[in-house]
Every structure is written in structure tokens, then in C-alpha cells.
Structure 1
Amino acid sequence: MGREYTADLVVIGSGGAGLTGALVAAEGGAKVIVLEKTGLVGGTTAISGGGIWIPCNPLMASVGVEDSREEALAYMRACAGDHGDDEHIEALVDEGKAMIAYLMEQAGIEFQAFPPIGGMIDYRAWLPGAKHGGRALEPMGFSLSRLGDWARHLRIDPRLKSANNLLAYYTERKHLLPMSAMKAPPADDTDIYWRGTALVGWLLEACLARNVEVLTEAEASEIIKDGESIAGVRGRQGDEDLTVHAPNLLMGTGGFGHNEELKRLWLNRPLHFTCENEANVGDGHLMGMAAGAQMAGLGDAWWLPHIPLGMDNGVANLAGTREDRILPHTMMVNPSGKRFMNEATNYYDCGEAFGTKSGAGPRNFPAWFIFDQQGVDRYMLLAFKIPPGEKPDWLHQGATLEDLAKSIEVDPQTLKATVERFNGFAVNGVDEDFHRGENPWDTNWGDPDNKPNPCLGTIAKSPFYALPVYPGANSTRGGLRIDAKGRVLSARTGEPIAGFYASGNCSNGAVAGAYCGPGATLGPAMTFSYLAGLDVCRRLGQSTRSSETLDRQVRTGIGCKS
């Protein structure tokens, strides 16, 4: 007969989206069960940067940044253009700040705001309403000892373990330092984690304190419906059948980046590498479709160029796909040996430049990331790409540009001409082809000591280096179509399916066609989960002091100028 459970809300997925909804519903008095298909809690969130992009959030004033509803809406609408769902955009502006206030005041979660320093800037900083700093938040460090025995069930990224605040990487602009500034890290026996691992730690602790039942190795496979309403889910836990009877379901299963068939069918651009948790295969999408859900936004992903550096399973050096492309003495070329974009472009908008999988458009993949010894001498981010010892297969090196071109199978004369033209731009300070170094994103990430353009430097000193650059993504996006309360819409009626909610990368809740700023994935995911949790409590007739406090905060416009 298997295992049977009864709850007010069943949550599928234990990342930032799932745990936020579970926490809010449990705080409101609901009995909540979370199903996590793997043996570890946290999903992709736990191994992410953990940023949460929320306009008008209550911590903006702490870093001296002002915001307003009008500015936030103007920026997000400019980002989305005609592709955006305006109800979603307004919900993110009006409710996101309340979500953060809720987590701080009701759950005791500690956050810090990005100050207006260097690259901590909205990704399309040239658009109206953009801000430098403030809108992006990170969790403060979290000690695993707070979780007791549950610590061993938490998905962690060892790179996020530190006794020191990792936000210092940005505030001190460490991407501009030379290798000589690199110091051996002190012995670090701390159990404090930051960013994504910390965020999941904080959320899990708050959920457990509210008697949320978290079941690991519990894989949902089918949504149970009673007529047009949710009635629960079926699946497996270990070797046993699993049934959870519940009138409410929150789908938080993430993207489908590890499902080759769905990527082939749904994405309009190639996706070779992804940062997603290996369990993200689109099961939430498929379960939702089988239950009659509408789908929206499936062709897109949170694009991020990847440079495979021979790590586990070929996963990229993720830090090296943003900052390194902005540094002087670097450029990118396509398989023909020609530049095809402003290399300093934010990683989401880079996806467009690589081209599509079909049609008559260009195919700029794999591209080649080119740099010289000047860059290696000046910046540790480039020096890190040249490991000691025997040269690995993925790193190409040449004493001359012609040698490098032959190594990467690019026409030598074409590559030489491309570099010569680029070097002229570097000397004059103006990129006549792609305008690199001319918008606020470029200049704030660039090197202010590099003149006349903070992002342009000649490629002239031997040896010369090249790394392959492939289309990649933080995660896929789009899926179950939701309304402004996180409710999944029926494909048959267009109305909400009673008791069915979704958020995060298995849904279409984020701002369409845009990556607004650092944390623009988790911001919408957690906001719509927060709204789903409140709506579950309303459906159950459980009006709580917490929700009343949140309603009051929304009305007073916390974090925004009047």
C-alpha cells in the first residue's frame, strides 16, 4: 500500500522557491509537507550565488540607495518590452519588498544589500529606472551547526564556505587584482556558508521550527485531482509508493537543463552547459501539463556563456564567464575568427549574440575567448585560467597569433586582422564595432586605471591564449503559466486551477525576456512562493497576524519613496 500522508499543502522541490512557500504557509498555520527527490535539500539555490533582486526592498536605505515604485516599474517594463506580463511585474514590485520584510521579521533571516560599488548594478543599466546597488540582496552567513542533524541533509557548495563575508569580492573589486595580490587562505575550520547555501540553511531552519515535514528521496510523479481541484500527489520514496493527500500544491521543481529531449524541443538556442542541480529534468513541467496547466515562456533560459575548464563533468569556471570578458586585453571571436558582440555584455544578453539553433541567423558557437600575456600579468582571473604543469587540452596557446589561429582552427589572416582592428580601438578608446566600454554596466565592471577605456586593452604580448566558449545558462526558465498570485492557470478554461501554485524556473513568473539584475531568478521565485503561501492560508481560512502585518507593510510602501 505504500506510505500515505495528509497535509494542507504539499510542496514539490526544496530550493528557495519551495522552502519560501512552505515557510509562509506553515507560519500561517498550515500543515506542510515538502518532497525533495534527491537525498539533499536545497536544489539549485543551494549551489547558486544566492542573490535576490527586489526593488524597493527595506535594506536599500542601509547602502544609501533610494528607489520608487515608478522607477522600478519603468525599468522592468523597459527590460521586458512587449514580452512582459504587467501583472507579474507589478506583483514583483509591490509584493517583493513585503516578502523580504516577512522573512526578516517573521523568520529572523538576515540579509545584506549590495552597495553601489563597481559591478553591483542592474544588468541593463542604460535603461530608465535602473539603479546602481541596493536592489540586490544576499543572505548573511549561516552556521550549519544551527541545523543539528539536518546539516548532513543540506546541499552545499564548498566554495561558499568562509569565515569572511563573501560580498567583499564585489565591494573590494577583487576581479581587478593581479596574481601577486593573491594570498594563501588561512586555515578555515568554520562551518559558516554564504550565498545560496546560506539562503537554504536559513529557510530550512525556519521551516523546521514551524513543523514543516521535509521528506528526502521522495520523488513526485503524478498530480492527483478531484474534478478541477488539486487533491494531492503520488510518487515514490525509496522503494515504496508515496501518496500525499492535500488540497494545495506548490510546484518548485526548477528548470529542465538536464533533460536533453526537452531542451531540444523547447529551447530556441543551444544549451551545452547549465549550473542547475543534476535532478532538474523538467518533471514539474510535465506533471503540470498532465494536470491541465497552461505553459508559457519555454523558449528562454537564464543565459550564461560557459568556459569548460576540465572540472567535474566539464562544468565551467562560472566566475570566468562574466568578469573576465570585461577585462582589458581580452576579446571573443566566432568560428570564423571575427568578433560578433560587445564582450562585456551582461551574461544573459550574451545568449542572443550566440545565435539560434535553426533558421538563417548566425551560429557564433563555439566562440573563442582570446587573451594575451599582458592580461595574465595584470589580472588574476586570467592567470587562473593557465594551470601549472602540463597544458590541458582545453587551453590553446601560441607564440604568435598565427600559431594560435592554427591551434583553434581559425583562418590566421582573419584572426590577425580582427586583432589588429581591435587593438586600434583599444589605443583610441572607442570600440567602433560594438561600443564596448560605453555603457554603465561596462564601465562599472571595467578597470578604472586602464585608460582611455576601462574595458579595452591591446592583445599584443606573447604568448597568446584561447579558450572555447559555449552557450550555457544558470538554468532554463519558463513553464507553468501563473497569475499574479502564483496560481497555475488551466489550459482549458484560462482560470486558476484550484489549489495549484508554481514558482521559480518551472514557471513563467520572472520578467520575460530579461535578467533585470543580480538575483533576478530568486527574487521572483521567492516572491510568488510567498504569495502562494499567503493564498493557501486564505483558502484554509487561516488569517494570521503575520499576514496582517504584511498587508500593512504593502500598503505603507516599505522601502520606497513616497
Structure 2
Amino acid sequence: MNAAAKVAEFDFVVIGSGAAGLTGAVVAALNGLSVLVVEKTALLGGTTAVSGGTVWIPNNDHESEVGVEDSLDDALSYLRACVGEAGDPAHVTALAGRGAEAIRFLEKRAGLRFVPMPSAGGSMDYRPWLAGAKVGGRGLTSPETDLGVLGEWAKRIRLVDTSEWTFDPRDYITERMHLDPPGLERPGASMFSPPPDDLDARPRPASVGRGAALVAQLVRAGLAAGVEYLLGVRAEELTTCDGRATGVRLRRSGGEELNVRASAGILLATGGYSNDERLRRSWLAREIQFSCELESNSGDGHRMGMAVGAQTAGLGDAWWMPHIPLGSGNAVVNTAGSREDRSLPHTLMVNDAGVRFMNESVNYHDAGEYFASKVGGWHSNFPAWLIFDSQGVEKYAMLSWKVPPAGEELPDWLRLADTISELAGATGLDPAALSATVTRFNGFALAGVDEDFQRGESRWDRAWGDPRNSPNPCLAPLEKGPFYAVRMYAGALSTRGGLRVDADARVCSAANEHAIQGLYAAGNCSNGGPAASYPGPGATLGAAVTFGYLAAMHASGAALPPVA
């Protein structure tokens, strides 16, 4: 696109450059459409780029490589069991039947590469007790990806400190890296917050993995197919004619307005709304205190769609994940999510009443659901405290790196005390209640049976516990001081739900529920996904890729093959 142009014409315009938007752009271009991707920040990739980059695709072509047998029937059974009555049956069918098709398209026609997560440990589906669940295989990740093939565009890929390829992420599962002891050096095994949008903030690595690798692969394929990218420009308003979406009004950071016409369609792929306080207060029944979304994700697509009469669905939901505000002050964006640490022996969680309220080892989405409990209008379980003792710090780097070196000032999210009673005083908890909770928990740990919440009994729990710890891999007493407490907050990877879409990713009208011609949505600005559930690792990106593909196939008039 000519930078000086005030009006431009394309067949297909994509707003947003995460997995949903970039997938739609590549598919549309390879189907013969002229494509423009509009990104409001200076970097490509959205929240996808700072994510783990796993794409959950059931019944994909790679599962047999790791010994997993899958089928359309198993995928449907599992997804239906996950979403229950909350989901749109057409969406479930699309996720089960079209996701593998999307990956096949990207590999065979666009040249992308994916490798399956191993059939081991924590790579399993998040609710392994449900019919149709699998251990590994459904999660697909990008191999090591060379940034050099992007030329000057390599500088336009959003990176974080964990983007650089330092080890195969599949090894994290097979080698149980979450059990590493303190002092064991493994490059790239820590979590950091995203850097600012500064193209020259630090040297670019030669090769990347995780979400950055997925983005780099999609951008490379897009450039090869003729996709144009417009960065640092915000989409403000959709234009319509006779009920059809025909274009979009854009605005550069300097105030210049651009108008782009889209003859085949517009794909809204702008992510969630975690960073818009008004929308959070309007749509969420409970608070999100921290999220992994970029600060630029503020509901732009939601607003533009609703302004032209789009119906909404699934609002108020999120991809839940408890968060610890490590080193990021009180910012909304925070990448210190809590997952493996809650499954380690010598840990437990309590609410402000000083009592346990959940099986601490459950997957992060289900853990987030426990924070929704209310007494009257007040949330009863957040903020919470993750409590552990010195045995845990001595055994596990996952816990020790939360504790600063001796002599350094404690951060405001960490408390330390020599006894449990003193720890209660430091946290503002009732000493008698906390002492009783720890005593009861220690009894369960010694017996190996959690009588209150069954921690350590499910296959998921045991996968993330320590098999060297007996009799229960997830339970060990808290009995050696000093004792520690880390503040745990209600958080999410991203909000979800928004513009209601059909099985072709077409946005539905609020007036008559028919599709708004020319308007599509995918990713977290839509309801296209496994409603109210988190089926497995990479389910966020799996839905994004699937519905981005479906939008582009429909807009380009390409016939979908029969579901295999």
C-alpha cells in the first residue's frame, strides 16, 4: 500500500496481526485475494507473539508421530463434554473437523511446519478424565524458526526474552523442567514481561521459538503470497453499504485518516478487551486484575462490530489463569501466570479467611474458576495466598526464584516469617485459622490423601507433581521455616467472547441473526471457540487459527473439503 494514499482498495482487509489475523491473511492471499493486514502497534504478532505458541488441534496429521490415536468422533466427544450446553454445536464441529484442515493448508500450501507435543506428562488435554481426551499430540508447536528469512521484516516481529530459541519446548515436558532444583542452569527457562514497542531495544536473535516462531512463519508465508502489512495504524470504524461491510476507516498516529475498501470482506482479529476498564466493568461478572494481553488490546474489534449491528455472545468469559504480580508493579499486563508452582509439594493456597478453597493442582483455567466464588456481592477467594516452606525453596527453582537473595528487600507481593503464626500476622490472616489449615494439610500430606480437595488423585495432578515425592506426588508438609506467602490474584491469558460468528466465522446481525455480509471475526474478539472451557494446551490459538482459516476460505469463495 502506498504510504501517501488516502484511499486504497483490497479484496480482503484484516484488522489485527495475531494468529487469527495472520492465518486469515495467508489463506486469503493463497486463494487469490489481495490482502492488507492492519496493525495498530509498531510490531506484528499481537499477544500470540508473546505466548507459548502451541496450537491445540484435535485429530491432526501429526499425532501418530508421537503414538497418539485420534479420530473425529473422539474430538467431538471430548469437546462436547468440555463445553456442555454453553457451546455452539456448529463451533464444536468446526473446531473438531476444520482445525486439522487449517493446519494441512498452512503446511502444504503456505510452507509452515508444525511438530506435535510429546505423549507425556503435562502435554495432556486439560480434562483428561473426559471421554475422548488424549495425552499429547493435539498440541502443535513451531520448530526453531530463522528470522533471517524475513529480511527487514524481522525487526517488525514482536519478541520477548523467551522468544529466542534456546531449547526445544517439548523438552520442558519430557524432562520435567518444572522440577529443576535451584542453581541448575537452563537457558531461556524464566518468564519476563514484554519490552516496549522499540524496534532497536535489543539485538534480535537469529532464531526464535514459541509464539514468535508461529508469527514469523505466518508473516514469511504472507510476504511470499503478496500480503501487505500496515503498522502503527488504528482501525476506527467500519463502513457499510446496504447492510454489507465494505471498508474500514483508519487513522495514523499523527492523525491522518485513511480509507480502505474491501470488496471480498473484512476480518476483525483484534484480540480481547483486558485493557479497557469500561468494557471490563460492563461485561465481566468478576475482576481480572492481571492479564497476558498486550496493552493495545482494548476491544477495538468489539466496538467496530457492534457499531454496525453485530450481535455479541460469550461476553464475560476469559481464558482464566491465576497471576502473581512479579516485578510489574500494578500494571494490568503481567506474564507471571501461575501453573506448575501450585502443583509442587510443600505448597498450598488459602483465601483471606486462611482456609484452602480448591485443589491447587488443577489446570490454570479451572483454577481461575475458583476465584469466581462469591458471598453476596463479594468475591470470597481472591486475592489468595500461595504458601510454601523452606523445603520447597531448597528443592524447586520454580519456588526459589520467587524469593530474593538474603539481605535484599522483600517485594510487596511476598511475605516471610519464621513460623506459620507469624506468617499469618504478616499477611493479615487469622493465625488460628491458618495454623489449623496447615496442620490439617500436613496430615493429608503424610497420609498421601487430600480428603478435602483430592489433590494428587487425577492424572493431570500427578503429571505436574514430583514423582520422587511419596506417597503423593503433589503433597508434602509445610513444616520448615522460614515460611513464605506470595499474593495470588485473579487473572487471565485474555478475555474471550465478543462478536457472535457462525461456523464460517461470519459475524451475525443483532437484528435478525443473519450474517452481516462481508464481515468476519476470529480469535478473542469473537465467540468462535470452545465456550466456557479450555480443552488443552494451545486451545486459544487453535480456535484462532481455525476460525481465521474459515473466514478466509468463505471470503475467497473456496470450497471446504469434506470433514475427515
Range into which the TM-score falls when normalised by the shorter chain: over 0.9
Between 309-318 and 202-211, the greater mean CA deviation after superposition? 309-318
Letter in 1 for 2:101: A
2:360 paired with 1:343: yes
Aligned-pair distance for 1:190?
4.7
Cα separation, 1, equivalents of 2:308 and 2:374: 30
Match of 1:310 among 313, 327, 330: 327
Q: Secondary structure at the match of 2:470?
A: coil
Cα separation, 2, equivalents of 1:49 and 1:507: 21
Residue 258 (structure 2) aligns with: 242
Residue 228 (structure 1) aligns with: 243
Deviations 1:310-369 (A, max 9, x none): 236657875660000000100000001000011111111112211257845752111000
Match of 1:256 among 270, 273, 283: 273
Between 252-261 and 314-323, the greater mean CA deviation after superposition? 314-323
Match of 1:488 among 507, 531, 537: 507
2:306 paired with 1:289: yes
Letter in 2 for 1:298: L
2:13–2:262 Cα contact (<8 Å) kept: yes
1:234–1:241 Cα contact (<8 Å) kept: yes
Q: Secondary structure at the match of 1:300?
A: strand
Residue 209 (structure 2) aligns with: 194
Between 174-183 and 433-442, the greater mean CA deviation after superposition? 174-183
Q: CA 1:164/1:315 → structure 2, altered by over 3 Å: closer, same or farther?
A: farther
Deviations 1:506-561 (A, max 9, x none): 000111110000010010111011011111111xxxx5xxx6xx72xx45x2xxxx
2:90 paired with 1:74: no
Cα separation, 2, equivalents of 1:513 and 1:486: 18
Between 161-170 and 475-484, the greater mean CA deviation after superposition? 161-170
Residue 221 (structure 2) aligns with: 206
Between 358-367 and 303-312, the greater mean CA deviation after superposition? 358-367
Match of 1:139 among 113, 130, 142: 142
2:553 paired with 1:534: yes
1:329–1:459 Cα contact (<8 Å) kept: yes
Aligned-pair distance for 1:4?
1.1
Residue 427 (structure 1) aligns with: 446
1:23–1:207 Cα contact (<8 Å) kept: yes
Residue 560 (structure 1) aligns with: none
Residue 513 (structure 1) aligns with: 532
Q: Secondary structure at the match of 2:539?
A: coil
Match of 1:90 among 83, 90, 93: 93
Cα separation, 2, equivalents of 1:320 and 1:18: 25
Deviations 1:251-270 (A, max 9, x none): 00000000011001101111
Q: CA 1:208/1:73 → structure 2, altered by over 3 Å: closer, same or farther?
A: same
Cα separation, 2, equivalents of 1:180 and 1:290: 54
Match of 1:170 among 169, 173, 176: 173
Cα separation, 2, equivalents of 1:368 and 1:69: 42
1:50–1:196 Cα contact (<8 Å) kept: yes
Deviations 1:347-402 (A, max 9, x none): 11112211257845752111000000111111110011112233222210000001
Q: Secondary structure at the match of 2:416?
A: strand
Letter in 1 for 2:277: E
Give unpaired runs (5+ residues) of structure 1.
558-562
Letter in 2 for 1:162: W
Cα separation, 2, equivalents of 1:185 and 1:119: 19
Residue 179 (structure 1) aligns with: 182
Residue 198 (structure 2) aligns with: none
2:11–2:35 Cα contact (<8 Å) kept: yes
Map 1:101-120 onto structure 2 (within 5 A): 101-120=104-123
Match of 1:159 among 151, 157, 162: 162
Deviations 1:273-306 (A, max 9, x none): 0100110000100100001100000010000000
Q: CA 1:189/1:528 → structure 2, altered by over 3 Å: closer, same or farther?
A: closer
Cα separation, 2, equivalents of 1:183 and 1:47: 20
Match of 2:479 among 452, 457, 460: 460
Letter in 1 for 2:392: G
2:345 paired with 1:328: yes
Letter in 1 for 2:510: A
Residue 408 (structure 1) aligns with: 427
Aligned-pair distance for 1:14?
0.6
Deviations 1:95-135 (A, max 9, x none): 10010111111111111111111111111111111111011
Q: CA 1:501/1:318 → structure 2, altered by over 3 Å: closer, same or farther?
A: same
Residue 376 (structure 1) aligns with: 393
Q: CA 1:529/1:327 → structure 2, altered by over 3 Å: closer, same or farther?
A: same
Between 485-494 and 347-356, the greater mean CA deviation after superposition? 347-356
Residue 352 (structure 1) aligns with: 369
1:320–1:381 Cα contact (<8 Å) kept: no
Map 1:433-472 onto structure 2 (within 5 A): 433-472=452-491
Cα separation, 2, equivalents of 1:314 and 1:279: 13
Residue 103 (structure 2) aligns with: 100
Q: Secondary structure at the match of 1:160?
A: coil
1:63–1:115 Cα contact (<8 Å) kept: yes
Q: Secondary structure at the match of 1:110?
A: coil
- Give me the TM-score of the superposition, normalised by structure 2: 0.93
Deviations 1:169-200 (A, max 9, x none): 122110012114335789x9951111111110
1:2–1:241 Cα contact (<8 Å) kept: no
Cα separation, 1, equivalents of 2:331 and 2:75: 38
Cα separation, 2, equivalents of 1:77 and 1:98: 20
1:36–1:218 Cα contact (<8 Å) kept: yes
Cα separation, 1, equivalents of 2:292 and 2:379: 25
1:268–1:357 Cα contact (<8 Å) kept: no
Letter in 2 for 1:329: H
Letter in 1 for 2:400: A
1:52–1:520 Cα contact (<8 Å) kept: yes
1:5–1:244 Cα contact (<8 Å) kept: yes
Cα separation, 1, equivalents of 2:462 and 2:187: 30
Cα separation, 1, equivalents of 2:376 and 2:317: 16
Deviations 1:192-240 (A, max 9, x none): 1111111100001111111111000111110000111111000202331
Q: What count of residue pairs does the alignment treat as equivalent?
A: 544
Q: Secondary structure at the match of 2:315?
A: coil
Identity %: 52
Q: CA 1:270/1:358 → structure 2, altered by over 3 Å: closer, same or farther?
A: farther
Q: Secondary structure at the match of 1:8?
A: strand
Q: CA 1:317/1:241 → structure 2, altered by over 3 Å: closer, same or farther?
A: closer
Q: Secondary structure at the match of 2:122?
A: coil
2:323–2:336 Cα contact (<8 Å) kept: no
Q: CA 1:316/1:420 → structure 2, altered by over 3 Å: closer, same or farther?
A: farther
Between 244-253 and 310-319, the greater mean CA deviation after superposition? 310-319
